[in-house]
Structure 1
Amino acid sequence: MKKSIIAFGIVFSLVATSLSASNGPDKPVLKKNLKIEKTTIKDLSPLSIAVVKGNFDTTKKFLEFGSDINQKSGTMGMTPLMYAARYNKVELMKLLVANGANVKAKSKIGVTALKYAKAANAHAAVKYLKSL
């Protein structure tokens, strides 16, 4: 009797799990124009975190899904381009600029991406920004 109850419980849980795992015909998990603007750790936007970490693919996805490319976040109110400049992430800077990042935007303290790059001795970033 105990074995029957245990077997029934296992079968029931497996059926319930497989039914809940089925989500129908290939539906996309994310939708275009989904606004992901919630700030997180240290008040950084998800886009800024992707830039700081140097994750090109994630940054590109955030842009594809409509993240605000010029959103100021963090204690200094820096844009994603400012973070890319500060950390010398030139490929990310090119991606951001190509998608409309404001090169002349200023942080809360009035500093541009070029000034952040200079302060961080990010030579490649400085060279790129001066070429624009």
Structure 2
Amino acid sequence: MKKSIIISAIALSFTFGTAHATPFTSTDNAPEIVRYYKVNSFCVSIALGDIDTVMKLLSIGEDVNQVSNGMTPAMYAAKYNRTEILELLIKHGANLKAKTAKKMTAAKYAEIHGADEAAQIIKTALVENKKK
């Protein structure tokens, strides 16, 4: 009988001890976690739809297949449905078959983000490239 009372008392003390526990949520000295994603100005211009800046950068020799934050300029154009810019990139030799580390292409970005016009442009360009 004494054993069961002692065991019950110990179990009861653990129950009350954990029921009133509060998680550690100190904000006074907690370090702030900041993540920076490096996207070059060329891809930022594409994402914003700034075709004038894109044209200027292309005219001074910007690489249409450079990778910025894991994506090519064509992927940014496809993702944000920047059709005029996408056509311009294709004319300048953008590689539409390039893949990210997650095996995603510009066509896949267009599909995921509902950029139907960009998807059609990519599909047409890939068909035309096969004919050549």
Q: TM tier, shorter chain?
A: 0.5 to 0.7
Query: Does 2:83 correspond to 1:94?
Result: no
Equivalent residue of 1:68, what SS? coil
Count the aligned residue pairs.
90
The C-alpha deviation readout for 1:76-105, integer Å capped at 9, x for no partner, is x00010000001111000000001111111
Q: CA deviation at 1:116?
A: 0.4
Which residue in the other structure is 2:101 paired with? 108
* TM-score normalised by the chain length of structure 2: 0.66
* Structure 1 consecutive aligned stretches of length 4 or more whose deviation exceeds 3 Å: none
Note the C-alpha offset of 1:110: 1.2
Structure number with greater Rg is: 2
For the residue of structure 1 that corresponds to 2:37, the secondary structure is helix
Q: Structure 1-normalised TM-score?
A: 0.66
Taking the aligned partners of 1:88 and 1:53, their CA distance within structure 2 comes to 10
Q: 5 Å matches for 1:112-123?
A: 112-123=105-116
Measured in 2, the distance between the counterparts of 1:91 and 1:66 equals 19
Task: Report how far residue 42 of structure 1 moved.
Answer: 2.2
Alignment partners' CA distance in 2, 1:89 and 1:65: 21
Q: For residue 49 of structure 1, give the secondary structure of its aligned residue in structure 2.
A: helix
